[in-house]
C-alpha cells in the first residue's frame, strides 16, 4: 500500500475538482482520487479517509467550511 498517498483514518484537505458518476465529489491527494459524499464542486473540505482501494479512496467530510474566510 506504499504507492497510495492516503491512509484510512487520516484526514486530508481536498478541493472538489469534479463530480463522480454517482454525484459524489472527487478531490485529489497527490493525484490519487478521493471520493467524498455530500461535497459540492469547487468546495474545499477536510475529509477523513474511510476506505482505500487500488485506484481511489473514499472519505467523509470532517469540516465543510475548511479554508473559508
- 23: domain CATH number? 2.40.50.140
* 29: in domain: yes
* 5: in domain: no
**The three cell numbers locating residue 32:** 490519487
CA distance 13 to 25: 13
* 47: in domain: yes
* 4: in domain: no
Question: What is the span of the domain harbouring residue 39?
Answer: 11-63
Note the pTM of the prediction, 2 decimals.
Answer: 0.88
Reported as a single tens digit per residue, the pLDDT across 21-50 is 999 999 999 999 999 998 999 999 999 999
**Three-state DSSP state, 69:** coil
Count of the separate structural domains present in the chain:
1
Amino acid at each position: 500500500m506504499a504507492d497510495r498517498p492516503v491512509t484510512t483514518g487520516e484526514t486530508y484537505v481536498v478541493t472538489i475538482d469534479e463530480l463522480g458518476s454517482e454525484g459524489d465529489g472527487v478531490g485529489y491527494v497527490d493525484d490519487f482520487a478521493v471520493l467524498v459524499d455530500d461535497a459540492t464542486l469547487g468546495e474545499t473540505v477536510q475529509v477523513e479517509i474511510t476506505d482505500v482501494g487500488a485506484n481511489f479512496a473514499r472519505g467523509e467530510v470532517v469540516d465543510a467550511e475548511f479554508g473559508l474566510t
